[in-house]
């Protein structure tokens, strides 16, 4: 089932799993998608999860955290195009994790200092859009 077909079914899902997924997605006002880069792209299961519902994603911001080759930048680049078609707002800043082993100190603890600025920027952007778009969605429902 693709997002295109869901556009035409107006958010009516006959399968219980589809209805449960739609209900879960409709609860949030913004999203952070965490994904690996897999063969210069993102995993098929993520594409399926995005396409399974449509209206529930509309007019909501999304940020990305990715890891892998070049910090997962190629998967994020492709995901930006997909979420725009779902009427989502991808924020500019993402968190790109290049090599996990470089993020561990000598005792094996995770060092996050190098990721904190981009994570803070991304979250601030998501929150800004979330407030704006939530207000707009609420005004258009009345």
Tell me the pLDDT tens digit for each residue of 27-49: 999 999 999 998 999 999 999 99
Burial class (CB in 10 A: 0-12, 13-18, 19+), 76: buried
Tokens (6 digits) for 18:
């589809």
The answer to whether 58 touches 86, Cβ cutoff 8 Å, is yes
Highest mean pLDDT of the ranges 3-7, 81-85, 136-140: 81-85
Domain locations in the chain?
3-100+113-141
Output 134-137 pairs: Cβ under 8 A, ≥24 positions apart: 134/29, 136/59, 137/59
User: Which pLDDT score, from 0 to 100, does residue 3 have?
Assistant: 46
Superfamily of domain 3-100+113-141 in CATH is: Flavodoxin domain (3.40.50.360)
User: Which pLDDT score, from 0 to 100, does residue 140 have?
Assistant: 81
User: Which pLDDT score, from 0 to 100, does residue 142 have?
Assistant: 52
User: Which pLDDT score, from 0 to 100, does residue 9 have?
Assistant: 65
Q: Give the model confidence (pLDDT) of 56-114 as tens digits.
A: 999 999 999 999 888 899 999 999 999 999 999 999 999 999 877 778 888 988 888 88
């Amino acid at each position: 089932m693709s997002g295109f077909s869901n556009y035409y079914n107006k958010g009516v899902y006959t399968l219980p799993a589809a209805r449960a997924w739609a209900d879960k997605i409709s609860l949030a006002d913004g999203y952070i998608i965490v994904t690996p880069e897999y063969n210069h792209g993102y995993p098929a299961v993520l594409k399926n999860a995005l396409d399974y519902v449509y209206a529930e994603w509309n007019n909501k911001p999304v940020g990305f955290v990715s890891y892998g080759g070049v910090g997962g930048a190629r998967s994020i680049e492709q995901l930006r195009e997909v979420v725009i078609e779902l009427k989502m707002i991808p924020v500019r800043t993402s968190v790109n994790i290049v090599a996990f082993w470089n993020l561990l100190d000598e005792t094996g603890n995770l060092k996050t200092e190098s990721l904190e600025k981009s994570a803070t920027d991304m979250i601030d952007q998501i929150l800004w859009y979330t407030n704006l778009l939530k207000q707009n969605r609420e005004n258009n429902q009345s």
